[in-house]
Structure 1
Amino acid sequence: MTAPAPRLEVLTPANVEAACALEVRPDQRGFVDPVATSLAEAYVWPEVAWPRLIVDGETPVGFVMAFHDIHFNPAVPDDRRSGLWRLNIAAAQQGRGYGRFAVRAVAQEIRRRGRHTRLFTTWQPGGSGPENFYLRLGFRPTGELSGGETVGALDLD
């Protein structure tokens, strides 16, 4: 018998506390906001935020939040983008493929919506940040910065 695959769950009153209790490694805290911050952002941006709890079996292992159809560059009227807004994998669960699973799930959702052929994200370069993770998955820097962070894109074709 094979182990169940990880899955995404909608945030509900039954799992929101478990989601907020997820913590990345201490050396990563400067690179990603806590889940509670993400949920506050999702609350004020409900038309673009897509927050999900990553669960393996019955164990919450991470949190992912996508954004859909954000107007990225005011100088370019048709520059609407979708992508990965936040990714938190619990410290004890890292290195088990949950981050890769989450990025693939976001890509699948963007494809399902049918508007975009690229998945965008941003990262702070350096140290214990996620830059190498994203580069290994195929993201490439676009040459843009957003809030001082590198903008990366992954082709979905």
Structure 2
Amino acid sequence: MRLERVTPKNYEAALKLSVREDQKDLVASVEHSLAEAYVYGEHAWPRLVYDGDRLVGFLMAFVDLPWKDPDDTDRRSGLWRLNIAGKEQGRGYGTFAVEAACAELRARGTIDFYVTYVPRDGGPAPFYRGLGFVPTGEVADGETVAVRRL
């Protein structure tokens, strides 16, 4: 498994990635994420997840992003988006992607790695809990905020 940059050669394949139908309310699309990566270029770290030559997912980390508004001095880093193709889930790709993002941000000096997720049955809370994320008690746009100390 490996992470690769989004390039002119692979972005069209990335746009075809889709989570399972029952998960589409949990995570924004790759298209939406790439638009945010463009707008927040200095803070976004988008990557594609490959198993050999097969594209299996997309992740986007955020680095030193103002937490609540552009002038906020509370800046955080963490996982902004994780999309593993529906048919590829349950094979360790999500865990690999999160651990790779943690390693990248740890190398950049990040101590606390944040994630937000929709708190509903069938949601990703057990996945993130299993990776060591602990809810902070905060809610952002209706999503649970959790953190993992790196």
Using structure 1 for the length normalisation, give the TM-score.
0.91
The reply to whether residue 149 of structure 1 matches residue 143 of structure 2 is: yes
The reply to whether residue 132 of structure 1 matches residue 135 of structure 2 is: no
Bigger Rg over Cα: 1
Task: Report percent identity of matched pairs.
Answer: 55
Query: Runs of at least 4 residues of structure 1 off by over 3 A?
Result: none
Partner Cα distance (2:31, 2:85) in 1: 14
The reply to whether residue 39 of structure 1 matches residue 27 of structure 2 is: no
Look up the SS of the partner of 1:12 in the other structure.
coil
Q: Which aligned pairs between 1:4-153 and structure 2 lie closer than 5 A?
A: 6-73=1-68, 78-114=73-109, 116-153=110-147
How many residues align? The count is 149
Q: CA deviation at 1:132?
A: 1.0
Partner Cα distance (1:86, 1:28) in 2: 13
Q: CA deviation at 1:72?
A: 1.4
Look up the SS of the partner of 2:36 in the other structure.
helix
Partner Cα distance (1:78, 1:24) in 2: 34
Q: Which residues of structure 1 form unaligned runs of 5+?
A: 1-5
Q: Which residues of structure 2 form unaligned runs of 5+?
A: none
**CA RMSD in angstroms, aligned pairs only:** 1.4
Look up the SS of the partner of 1:42 in the other structure.
helix
The amino acid of 1:117's aligned partner reads: I
The amino acid of 1:57's aligned partner reads: G
